[in-house]
Amino acid sequence: MEQILKFKQKIKNLNWKQKTTFSLSIVMGLFFLSAIIISWIVTRNLMLKNLNKLTLEEKTLIFQAGYYPRIIPEFWDITSYFTYISNFLLIVAFFLFALFTNKKSLQRFAFLTTVYITITFSVFWTLIFPESFNGKLNPWSFFASLLVHLINPTIGIILLGINRKEINLSKWTINLAPLTLLGYYLIALVIYFIGLPVTRAVEEINVSAKVFNDTRLVIYPFLNFLKPLFTNGQNLTLTIFLNILIVAMGLTIPYAFAWMWKGIYKIKILKINQ
C-alpha cells in the first residue's frame, strides 16, 4: 500500500511533459493490446474457416498424423513481427522515460525506439501495405494495423518532439542504432534455413508462390532469402545482389533515421566525458 501511495505521489509531482508522456504511453499500450486481441480473434476465425473446409475423413487423417491447430503459437505468431517488437519497446521506453526523465540510458532508449518505430511505419506503408491488396483485406486486421503502424508511431514521434530538450545522445547511440535490426535479420536468417526443409516438403504438393508465407517460413514476404523483394529467385546473381541490398539498407536506414530525428528535433549529442 505504501508503494502504491509513493507511486501516486510521484505521478502527481510530474511536470506537464512527463504527465503527457506517461498518459500517452498508457494510451499506446491500450492500442497495442487492442491490436493483439483483434489479431487473436481474426486468427481464430481463420482457423475455424480452414477447418470447416475439410471433410470429416480429411480431419481424421490430419489429426491422426499428429497435426492439430496450435492455438497459442498461432495467437502469439504476430509477436515475431518487428512491428510488435518495436511498438512494445516504444511503449516501455516512454513509460519509463516519463518517470525517470534524467536517466541518460532511458533518454537514449526512448530515442532509439522512435527510430525503430519510424522503420516500422516506413516499411509497412511502402512494402507491405501495397502487397496486401493482392488478397482480401480483413477490415478488423486493417484496423489493428492502423493502431500499430500509424497511430502508435505517430504518437511516438510526437513524444520525441515534446521531450526533445530533455534528451541527450552520445555518438554511440546513433552508431549502434543498426544493431537491433541486424540481430533481427540474423534471427530471421537462421529460422529460414532451419525451417526450409519443411516448406520444401509442402511445396511438393502445393507449388503456390505463397507457400513460403503460408508455412510462415518468412516473417515478411520481402524477407525471403531465396526470393528476396518479391522476385521469383530464378536469377542467382539478382538474388545475391538483393540480399546484399537488404542487409545494406538494414544497416543504413536506422542510422539515417537516427540522424534525421536528431537534426529535425535538434537533439544534443554529449561529449564522452559528459
Number of structural domains the chain divides into: 1
Buried b (16+ CB within 10 A) or exposed e, 122-158: ebbeeebeeeeeeeeeeeebeebbebbbeebbebbbe
**pLDDT for position 127:** 67
Q: How much is the pLDDT for 242?
A: 95
Among residues 11, 198, 207, which one has the least CA distance to residue 95? 11
More confident residue, 125 or 201: 201
Q: Find residue 168's DSSP bridge partners.
A: 268
The residue type found at 116 is Y
Residue 274 falls inside a structural domain: no
Do the domain assignments include residue 75? Answer: yes
Is residue 97 in a domain? yes
Give Cβ neighbours of residue 266 (< 8 Å, ≥ 6 apart): 164
Give residue 272's pLDDT: 60
Which cell numbers in the block locate residue 238?
A: 539478382
Confirm whether 60 is domain-assigned. Answer: yes
pLDDT of residue 202 exceeding 90, the answer is no
User: Helix or strand or coil: residue 135?
Assistant: coil
Residue 183 identity: G
**Domain housing 28:** 2-269
Indicate whether 133 belongs to any domain. Answer: yes
pLDDT tens readout for residues 210-221: 888 888 899 888
pLDDT digits (tens, 9 = 90+) for 90-107: 999 999 999 999 999 999
Q: Model confidence at 208, in pLDDT bands (50, 70, 90)?
A: low
